[in-house]
Structures are given as C-alpha cells and as structure tokens.
C-alpha cells in the first residue's frame, strides 16, 4: 500500500480518473470508492446545484472517500469573424440534425467560483482540478474545508507550479490519456509527453505523491506506473465501458470499432485539445480551413449537436472521448476493472 492511499484512507492506490459529462455518474464514482479505490466525479460541466446533487447522490451510495474534479477557467479571446466563420462550418451539421445553432456569443457558464463553494460546503474529501491552478484564496478555502488537493500536470514545469501553489499531490497526465489535455503553462502542442516519460520526470521534479494517468488499463499498466515512481494510478478509458458508466451506446460501440486503436487529439469539438476515437465530424471539420475558436467557445457552439447525437446514439457527431487504450476497455462491472488494476500492485502475476 502506498502512503498516498493511506493518507486518503483507501484500500487501493487506484483512482477512477475524473470524467466530465454523463459518463462518470454517481453510480460509477461510488462503485469505485466502495470497492476500495478513489471514485472521482468529473463536475466540470455541472451547474452548482447539479454538482451538489451529484455529491449527495455519491454519499447516499458510499461512505468511503471520493473526489470531485473541476475545470479551472481560462481567459480566452477571439475575433468575432472567426466565430462567425466556424458557425458557418457547423451550419451543415445542425441542418442535418434539424437543430437550431446556439447563440454566436455563448453565454458565460463560468460557474467555477460557485462550484468551488459547493465542494467546500459539502466537505468533499478530495478535490482535483485541471486546465490551470485555482486562485490562492480558493485553494486556501478548499484546504481549510479539509479537502485533499490534487492538480493536473502534463510537464515537469506544470508539476512544479502546482507544488509551489501548495497542492497535496500531482496527477501526471500522459499523452495517451483520453479526453482533454490538462496543459496550462506551455502551448498544448508542447504538453505531449507520454506517461512512460512523464511520470519519472514529475517524480524527480516534485517532492509530492504523483498519480500516473494515461494509457493504464490493466495490471501491467499499474505495475509499470508504480515502478516509475507513481504513488497511485488514475484510469479513465478502462472504466468507460463498465456497466455503471452512462455512455451513449454509439460511444460504447466505437470503443470496440475499427477506429478505436487510432485515437487522436483534436480541437474541433471544444476548442481545446482532447483525445478521442476519430469519426466523421472530426475528419471533416479538421480539414476545414476555418479557425477553431478556443475553449469554451467551441464547446458551447457544438454542445447541442453533441447532445442530440448522444440522444440519437449517432456516432458521426459525438465526441467519442477515449484514450489510446480504448480497445482494452471491457464491458464488465467497475469492480471487475478495479480488481484487474489492483492485481498490478505488489509482486503478483
């Protein structure tokens, strides 16, 4: 057992990586915590009261430790003609699904301050974040509430910045990871170290426990990550196809489909680099010359499209977020995945 797992009161140093969206609903988070790991709720897209409801739903299912993860807001600016040009690109897709496009200048959904207040009020045991570093006063208030703090780094420099900000642990997110890159210091195109190279460099750069994330889907990955010096592992993709994950059927099928082994990074769904299984929307929009507006503008502009695609289970327009280990995602219970990962701890086969 690692010091980190002991500090968090866990039986296993294995985390459900936070996944915003419908995937990691309270059932999945609680199942992982109940089985001895750390379930984490990806709360980034949730309005404050929905976040509170999810936290309470987790607590109804387990009294074991769990975490909540949020997106640190970023400043963005873009010329309005670029937004207009991108909306023209999206028009054909909205027409195809017979949907109205959202407003050109999406209303701000920057709930971060209120989301943090919910985490504090609900006394969430573990708080993790990505896309940046919260303000000092926010970190201080979270710490005072008793939360254990974890920040996401994609480079040793980001890990050092997180340590300087006073976090308790660093999540080292390798290039293989599914979903959005957490990169915040260097240009995203430079935050591309694979887990195998990133974890030992982060372990050397900071004096904090390091959680390895990216490409870990079975006991072999866990064993490798611990050998590299990680104190715990976080797996996202491995849990995507579990019974407790609320994945649209088309997303689930894509994990077993012919393109699952060829995940790639794209900006076209959200304006921020994220890894997923390629589909028609990715292929076509990436070929357009239009500038893709930065996150969260594009996230808002494509959201109704993605929601409708999920409702219809239409893979062509879904953001099929998944990591490079997508073909290893199994349809089974979350507990089965956890047990497989746990077999990589110690000297077992």
Q: Which residues bind ligand FMN (CB under 6 A)?
A: 17-21, 23, 42, 44, 69, 130, 152, 173, 176-180, 182, 213-216, 234-238, 321-323, 325
**Least Å distance between CB 16 and ligand FMN?**
9
d(Cα 254, Cα 262) in Å, to the nearest integer? 11
CA atoms of 81 and 4, how far apart (whole Å): 49
What's the distance, CA 204 to chain centroid?
24
Report in angstroms how near the CB of residue 344 gets to ligand FMN at its nearest: 14
CA 147 → CA 123, 143, 150, distances in Å?
7, 5, 9
Q: Name which of 209 and 236 has its Cβ closer to ligand FMN.
A: 236
Query: How near is the Cβ of 134 to ligand FMN at its closest, in Å?
Result: 13
As measured in angstroms, the least distance from the Cβ of 298 to ligand FMN is: 16
Residue 214 neighbours by CB distance under 10 Å: 31
Gap between the terminal Cα atoms of the chain: 17
Q: Please state the closest distance from residue 90 (CB atom) to ligand FMN, in A.
A: 22
Q: Which is nearer to ligand FMN, 42 or 156 (CB)?
A: 42
Provide the token pair at 23: 């995937």
Nearer to ligand FMN, 83 or 199 (CB): 199
Q: How many residues does the chain have?
A: 349
Nearer to ligand FMN, 64 or 251 (CB): 251
Closest by Cα among 217, 257, 254 to 233: 217
Q: Which is nearer to ligand FMN, 83 or 154 (CB)?
A: 154
Q: Please, which residue, 69 or 201, has the CB nearer to ligand FMN?
A: 69
Structure-token match 């890894």, residue found? 275
Report in angstroms how near the CB of residue 118 gets to ligand FMN at its nearest: 16
Nearer CB in complex with ligand FMN: 64/181 = 181
Q: How far is the CB of 71 from ligand FMN (least distance, A)?
A: 7
Nearest-angstrom CA–CA distance, 298 and 211: 30
Tell me which DSSP letter residue 38 carries: B
Return the residue nearest ligand FMN (CB atom).
236
Closest approach, Cβ 21 to ligand FMN, in A, equals 6
Q: Other CB atoms closer than 10 Å to residue 27's CB: what's the count?
A: 17
Q: Report DSSP state, residue 316.
A: G
Rounded to 5 degrees, φ, ψ at 206 are -125, 165
The SS3 call for residue 171 is strand
CB-nearer residue toward ligand FMN: 206 or 235: 235
């Amino acid at each position: 057992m690692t010091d980190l797992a002991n500090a968090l009161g866990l039986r296993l140093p294995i985390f459900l990586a936070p996944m915003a969206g419908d995937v990691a609903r309270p059932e999945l988070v609680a199942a992982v915590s109940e089985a001895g790991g750390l379930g984490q709720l990806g709360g980034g897209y949730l309005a404050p009261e929905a976040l509170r409801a999810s936290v309470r739903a987790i607590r109804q299912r387990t009294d074991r430790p769990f975490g909540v993860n949020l997106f640190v807001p970023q400043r963005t600016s873009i010329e309005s003609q670029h937004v207009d040009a991108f909306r023209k690109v999206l028009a054909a897709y909205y027409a195809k699904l017979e949907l109205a496009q959202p407003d050109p200048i999406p209303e701000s959904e920057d709930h971060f301050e209120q989301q943090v207040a919910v985490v504090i009020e609900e006394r969430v045991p573990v708080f993790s974040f990505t896309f940046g570093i919260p303000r000092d006063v926010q970190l201080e208030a979270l710490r005072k509430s008793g939360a254990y703090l974890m920040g996401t780094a994609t480079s040793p420099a980001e890990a050092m910045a997180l340590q300087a900000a006073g976090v308790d642990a660093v999540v080292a997110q390798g290039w293989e990871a599914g979903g959005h890159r957490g990169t915040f210091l260097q240009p995203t195109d430079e935050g591309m170290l694979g887990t195998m190279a990133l974890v030992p460099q982060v372990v050397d750069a900071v004096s904090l426990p390091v959680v390895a994330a990216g490409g870990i889907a079975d006991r072999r990955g866990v064993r490798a990550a611990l050998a590299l010096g990680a104190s715990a592992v976080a797996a996202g993709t491995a849990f995507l196809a579990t019974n407790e994950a609320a994945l649209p059927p088309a997303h689930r099928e894509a994990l077993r489909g012919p393109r699952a082994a060829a995940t790639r990074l794209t900006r076209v769904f959200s304006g921020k680099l994220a890894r997923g299984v390629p589909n028609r929307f990715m292929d076509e929009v990436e070929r357009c010359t239009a500038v893709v507006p930065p996150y969260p503008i594009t996230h808002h502009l494509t959201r109704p499209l993605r929601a409708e695609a999920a409702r219809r289970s239409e893979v062509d327009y879904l953001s099929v977020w998944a990591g490079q280990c997508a073909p290893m995602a199994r349809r089974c219970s979350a507990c089965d995945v956890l047990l497989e990962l746990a077999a990589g701890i110690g000297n077992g086969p």
